[in-house]
């Protein structure tokens, strides 16, 4: 008796969706690697966070104005540069993308009080700002973890710092050191002093809620850290 051919069962919908999600993630990852190579020489016209804030503005009252002027690292005051390093990543020039000492301390502190504090490096935050949004997700964290070493390898420390200082958020629609200096102090990034730099660095964890004039306590801590770094 002749056997009937087997009917191939269709994959469950969830499997097909999972495969498509995997393809999308891998495709986006490949685009990011290409973009990193280009960012060695090309200044980004916009970032993931820039796009996020623009989209968010569509659902809010009031006019949204984006302030963003990319300037070379040499046109950003060393006081400003080191204030940000002291505030965000004191071991920036010592690690290769991840500050394992800070990660360990954050985990230990979290085990004691039940809260995990941030331990992201400047390199990690740059990757997040360039290619993702401020919204947290396991997929984003996983991609960020694998992309950060590539950013270190492809871009190098000087370019990472230059990009970071130029793209991060310093207020509503205010992106980069030059725009921050003009918006908060009506001067250029090249003219920012130690105290001003420390105050601007102090608002980075919450740039939409903080203002430099109210950062007396945090700016004093940053100035102390700058002194410890020899700055």
- Listed residue (160, 134, 161) closest to 147, CA to CA: 160
187-226 per-position pLDDT tens digit? 999 999 999 999 999 999 999 999 999 999 999 999 999 9
Q: How far apart are CA 119 and CA 98, in angstroms?
A: 9
Pairing of strands 174-175, 169-171: antiparallel
Residues in the chain: 231
Q: What is residue 107's predicted lDDT score, i.e. its pLDDT? A: 62
- 3-class SS of residue 67: strand
Q: What is residue 9's predicted lDDT score, i.e. its pLDDT? A: 58
* 200 burial via Cβ count (<10 Å: 0-12, 13-18, 19+): buried
Q: How far apart are CA 154 and CA 37, in angstroms?
A: 6
Confidence of residue 115 (pLDDT cuts 50, 70, 90): very low
- 3-class SS of residue 217: helix
Q: How far apart are CA 203 and CA 142, in angstroms?
A: 27
Contact call for residues 195 and 185 (beta carbons, < 8 A): no
**Is 160's pLDDT higher than 90?**
yes
Q: How far apart are CA 110 and CA 84, in angstroms?
A: 24
Contact call for residues 203 and 211 (beta carbons, < 8 A): yes
- Listed residue (224, 225, 219) closest to 86, CA to CA: 225
The full set of domains in the chain, from first to last, is 73-228 (1.10.3810.10)
Q: Write down the pTM of the prediction.
A: 0.85
Which residues, 6+ apart, have CB-to-CB distance to 18 below 8 Å?
none
Average pLDDT over all residues of the chain: 88
């Amino acid at each position: 008796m002749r056997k009937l051919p087997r009917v191939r069962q269709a994959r469950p919908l969830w499997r097909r969706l999972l495969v498509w999600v995997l393809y999308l993630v891998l495709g986006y990852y490949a685009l990011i690697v290409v973009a990193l190579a280009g960012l060695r020489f090309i200044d980004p016209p916009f970032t993931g966070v820039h796009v996020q804030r623009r989209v968010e503005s569509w659902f809010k009252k009031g006019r949204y104005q984006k302030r963003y002027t990319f300037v070379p690292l040499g046109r950003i005051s060393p006081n400003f540069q080191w204030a940000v390093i002291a505030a965000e990543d004191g071991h920036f020039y010592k690690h290769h993308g991840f500050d394992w000492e800070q990660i360990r301390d954050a985990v230990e502190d979290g085990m004691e009080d039940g809260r995990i504090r941030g331990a992201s490096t400047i390199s990690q935050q740059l990757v997040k700002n360039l290619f993702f949004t401020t919204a947290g997700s396991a997929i984003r964290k996983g991609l960020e973890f694998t992309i950060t070493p590539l950013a270190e390898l492809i871009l190098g420390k000087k370019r990472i710092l230059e990009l970071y200082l130029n793209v991060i958020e310093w207020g509503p629609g205010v992106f980069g050191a030059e725009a921050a200096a003009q918006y908060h102090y009506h001067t250029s990034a090249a003219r920012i002093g130690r105290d001003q730099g420390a105050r601007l660095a102090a608002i980075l964890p919450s740039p939409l809620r903080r203002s430099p004039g109210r950062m007396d306590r945090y700016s004093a801590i940053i100035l102390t850290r700058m002194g410890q770094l020899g700055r």
